[in-house]
Amino acid sequence: MATTEAELTATIAAKVAAKVPRARYAGIAQFVGDNAGAGPTGPAGPTGPTGATGATGPTGPTGATGSTGPTGPTGPAGPGFSDGDKGDIVVSSSATVLTIDTAVVTNAKLATVATSTIKGRSTAGTGAPEDLTASQVKTLLAISASDVSGLATVATSGSASDLGAGSLPAARMPALTGDVTTSAGAVSTTIAADAVTFAKMQNIATSTLLGRSTAGTGDPEALTASQAKTLLAIAVGDVSGAAASATTVTAGAGLTGGGDLSASRTLNVAANADGSIVVNADDIQVGVLATNAQHGNRAGGALHADVIAAGASGFMTGADKTKLDGIASGATVAPALSSSTPAAVGTATVGVGTTTARADHVHAHGDQLGGTLHAVVGASAGFMSAADKTKLDGIANGATVGASFQAALIATSLRL
């Protein structure tokens, strides 16, 4: 190996320093240094001892990767399989053919798959199975309505009118308008403001009001008039024109009761002592003639006019009664035996009474003088008619029915 000039200089300097005094070394070193580049290089001296190892310098850059060396020789062959059944596989053809047994590759031995995937193949052409998504499987299967058993008509028509049972999902609900509204796709309904008219409210009984008397907040109730008045607590000041309780109702003539209006008051009609007016619980009864005092002189009939011949009907006088009692039943007035036609019997007229009732006659009797309110005597006893009075006056006292009368009656009848 060639020695550089610098190395040679360093070697000489080291040897000189080891054998020459320091003072002389300085001169020699100077001489060597001054003349180093002058003469030819001398022969290399022997290699000096190895100096101490210097500090490690910084790591240099990595060099380029070398080329791959040649392949080494093939090692000796290891022990091989013998032919036969080895569990899930069968070894044959001098251990050169391995065959997987039927039905031994379980799901656990398959390659793992992601969640919600199915083994299949959607790539065109024959090839290895692939992990398919649900969307890829549905596309591959091309499922139609006929492939799904039990589908309702609505499933294929898409019309809500074909929904024979069940409920539509909320998302299919349309928006409702009118008295009740909803948003599309929702089933929560809202009654529109002012939509509930009186006709749409539930029926209530006659003479009731809507309100609430039950304690606490709650539904409206049908209140009776009594409940409504209790709730309102109506005072005199709440009623326009109402009298205060200091106002007094005074019973007038013929009445009893009354008082101030702090409570309900009753006015009663006073009954007459003789009973001509009877006051009942719910009416006043007038004209109950229970005594002579109420009717007047009922026994004598002095309050009624006597019957007048050829006039108005009335009461029978005592004299007429005596006369009538003396006449035999069936007696008639004997007509004069003459050739002239008997006079026609006059027609009685009903008189009109003008005399007012007596002071002791305490009830309205109607026509006192004429007696038209009383039945005329017939088969039953009653008032005498004016015609009967005329007939009675034409009969002599003590007259009886006789043969002479009958003969004269026959003769008269023949002449007629």
Distance CA 388, CA 318 (A): 16
Number of neighbouring beta carbons within 10 Å of residue 396: 12
Calculate the CA dihedral of residues 124, 125, 131, 135 and round it to 10 degrees.
30
Task: Tell me what pLDDT residue 350 has.
Answer: 44
pTM of the predicted structure, to 2 decimals: 0.24
Distance CA 107, CA 117 (A): 14
| DSSP-derived 3-state class of residue 315 | strand
Distance CA 135, CA 139 (A): 6
Distance CA 18, CA 14 (A): 6
Distance CA 131, CA 114 (A): 8
Task: Tell me what pLDDT residue 359 has.
Answer: 43
Tokens of 155: 């499933």
Cβ atoms of 11 and 45 within 8 Å: the answer is yes
Task: Tell me what pLDDT residue 353 has.
Answer: 41
Strands (E), 196-254: 208-211, 221-224, 248-250
What type of residue sits at position 299? A
Task: Tell me what pLDDT residue 303 has.
Answer: 59
Number of neighbouring beta carbons within 10 Å of residue 28: 14
Task: Tell me what pLDDT residue 374 has.
Answer: 61
Low-confidence residues of the chain: pLDDT under 50: 23, 25, 28-29, 31-33, 35-36, 336-337, 342-364, 366, 368, 403, 412-416
Q: Report the candidate in 385, 402, 379 with the shortest Cα–Cα distance to residue 332.
A: 402
**Distances in whole angstroms, Cα of residue 410 to Cα of each of 210, 394, 400:** 95, 20, 17
Largest separation between any pair of C-alpha atoms in the chain: 239
Strands 180-181 and 208-211, sheet pairing? unpaired
Cβ atoms of 140 and 122 within 8 Å: the answer is yes
- The Cβ-side half-sphere exposure at 124, using a 13 Å CA radius, reads 0
Task: Tell me what pLDDT residue 407 has.
Answer: 52
Task: Tell me what pLDDT residue 123 has.
Answer: 93
Task: Tell me what pLDDT residue 206 has.
Answer: 93
